[in-house]
Amino acid sequence: MGESPAIKVFPKKVALDVFAAATILELAISAANARGIFHFVLSGGGTPDSLYERLASSPIVERFPWEASHFYWGDERAVPPIEVGSNYRQAHETLLSKVPANEANIHRIKGELNPQQAAEDYANQLLEQAKPGFDWPRFDVVLLGVGADGHTASLFPGLENQEEPKQPVMPVTAHYGGRPANRISLTPVIFNSARNIIFLVTGVDKASAVAASLEGEYVPLQKPTQRIRAQNGQVFWLLDEAAAGQLSNL
Ligand code: 6PG
């Protein structure tokens, strides 16, 4: 197993963003120097917007190895890329349209396809980026958010009761909260092979999910964040004080 999670608490979201941006920059530079490539998985949700804007602004934007960077998504909603609600559109607006990223290195999940087809297409895209003998690239940084119900990416609580999926990408069409989820998600097997996984969590409404995940009983099917355990990498939990409010062992 990788090391235990590094938990960091910041007084305000802005301080969390400053730390996250500096950490990602450092990891990107060292990946580009060591391997000539930086594999970066973006998340959806509102939490990373200000981080994406920070990465696209001075003094980070001038130092970031954009040419060497490849972008992926941890999950996507089943909507076309031009629609509000598309995780690709969100990252494009806040980050990718503002930086000299190479279009060919932007690997989006095709939300316009049906989720099963989109999952198969994305597994193929990941295979194309893999080293010979592997099914996907080893990600350098995976960003993840957490919902108040404890979901992460599109891994929802209580939807599955079988073994972890073996495939790296899955359609999520089960009804959740009374409506079809209709999403596509990467699965723990691929997330857990990453070098670094960074949870970004802010706000009091997430406090109980954070405490349950980090200090509660181990029930991974009910608490999807507990399915994220880097095999040979580092997990970071970057929290504001509100989200950390129910943790007792800091
Ligand atoms: C998505 C996500 C999802 C998100 C959490 C937190 O596509 O919605 O990837 O897992 O990260 O729901 O969302 P917020 O950042 O908006 O609280």
Encode pLDDT of 206-217 as tens digits. Answer: 999 999 999 999
Return the higher-pLDDT residue of 175 and 195: 195
The pTM score is 0.96
Hey, what long-range contacts does 211-215 have (CB within 8 A, 24 or more apart)? 211/246, 211/247, 211/248, 212/150, 213/146, 213/150, 214/5, 214/7, 214/247, 215/247, 215/248, 215/249
Whether the CB-CB separation of 18 and 250 falls below 8 Å is answered with: no
From first CA to last CA, the distance across the chain in angstroms is 22
Write down the pLDDT at residue 216: 95
Residue 77 CA to residue 232 CA, distance in Å, equals: 29
Query: How many CA atoms lie within 13 Å of 161's alpha carbon, on the beta-carbon side?
Result: 1
pLDDT at 117 over 90: yes
Q: Compute, in angstroms, the gap from residue 51 CA to the centroid of ligand 1.
A: 14
Residue 219, amino acid: V
Average pLDDT over every residue of 98-108:
98
Say what the pLDDT of residue 250 is: 74
Residue 112 banded pLDDT, cuts 50, 70, 90 = very high
Q: b vs e for 113-127, b when ≥16 Cβ sit within 10 Å of the residue's Cβ?
A: bebeebbeebbebbe
Ligand 1 geometric centre to CA of 34 (Å)? 31
Nearest by Cα to 65 from 95, 41, 101, 97: 101
Report the pLDDT averaged over residues 101-128: 97
Tell which atom from ligand 1 comes closest to the C-alpha of 154: 10
CA of 154 to the centre of ligand 1 (A): 8
Residue in the block written with tokens 């949700």: 45
pLDDT at residue 159 in the model: 64
Cβ within 8 Å of residue 126, ≥6 positions away: 72, 107, 135, 136, 137, 168, 169, 190
Query: Nearest C-alpha to atom 7 of ligand 1 is from which residue?
Result: 44
Give residue ranges with CB within 6 A of ligand 1: 43-47, 74-75, 87, 145-147, 151-153
- Between the alpha carbon of residue 53 and those of residues 9, 48, 66, 188, 207, the distances in Å are 21, 9, 15, 28, 25
Model confidence over 153-185: pLDDT tens digits? 999 988 665 678 999 999 998 766 666 679 999
How far apart, in Å, are the Cα atoms of 182 and each of 80, 125, 156, 174? 12, 20, 12, 7
Return the number of other C-beta atoms located less than 10 Å from residue 31's C-beta: 22
Closest residue (by CA) to atom 12 of ligand 1?
147
pLDDT at 161: 59
Which pLDDT belongs to residue 39? Answer: 98
